Amino acid sequence: MVSWHGHIVPFIVTVAIWFIATGLIAWADNRERSTFNRSMMIGGVAGITGLVVILVASLSAEVWAVYLGFIGALMVWGWHELAFLTGAAAGPRRGPADPSLTGIARFRQAASTVMHHEVALALTALLLISLSWDVPNQIGATVFVLMFAMRLVSKINLFVGVPNTTSEMLPEHLAYLKTYFGRNRMTVLLPLSILGIAAATWWFAQMALAAPVGSAEMVGASLLTTLALLGVLEHLFLALPFRDGMLWGWALPQRKTPAQTTRN
């Protein structure tokens, strides 16, 4: 039986935060570079606050603590995303791909463009897992690890090649990353990725349906179900002719075309 407070409200909360937070981060990292230091200061405060929120929420298994831990994890995740998209924490390589490289050599070069970001995410995930190992509420660590896993899968798919490389939200100072994307094509990895994330969605959904009505377990599983479902949607965007600007155009600046730049 579907519960309003146990299933529907968590769904609405997750989708709303996903939509607004994605737009705000896109807006921040597509502004003038002179604003990045201020954005990173605000993001850093939010990220550290998120860590404290996760720690506080982990001590309680009440519904409010589940929501609090969930929001705290997204605050920490947003901090990492902002650091990556502003270029503060990307990788040692900050230039386009060498077109002559293939195979492992190309992969190593591509990995060097995001290495610092990935290491930071992995260390944060390990920190949250260690802090949440034996506490009543583990939603914060679970959310962060789930998002890390889904983002890693999407990056690998982009490297291998997908039918639709949605890069409208990629800021201009990171435009060189597009040269590391594989050619537009369908590979077996993308449908397998979608099936894998869909299976995780189904598993979380079964947990949400089986939990006591209105319980913290039901709310937590519903939040994870929706988050995984959004992961499926984002991977479907890689297969379908979808433009990022269709949803987050309000957050993106009007970029000049080459002709406009020449005239100026």
Q: Give the SS3 label for residue 101.
A: coil
In a domain, 263, yes or no: no
| 258 domain residue, yes or no | no
CA distance 85 to 208: 34
214-237 exposure pattern, b = at least 16 Cβ within 10 A, e = fewer: ebbbbbbbbbbbbbbbbbbebbeb
Question: Is the residue at 65 inside a domain?
Answer: yes
d(CA 37, CA 40) in angstroms, rounded, equals 5
156 belongs to a structural domain? yes
The answer to whether residue 259 sits within a structural domain is no
Determine contact, residues 150/230, Cβ cutoff 8 Å. no
Domain range enclosing 155: 4-251
- pLDDT tens for the chain, 264 residues long, are 777 888 999 999 999 999 999 889 989 888 898 999 999 999 999 999 999 999 999 999 999 999 999 999 999 999 999 999 998 988 999 999 999 999 999 999 999 999 999 999 999 999 999 999 999 999 999 999 999 999 999 999 999 999 988 777 788 899 999 999 999 999 999 999 999 999 999 999 999 999 998 899 999 999 999 999 999 999 999 998 877 667 777 777 765 444 444 444
In a domain, 174, yes or no: yes
Is residue 257 one of the residues assigned to a domain? no
Q: How many domains does the chain have?
A: 1
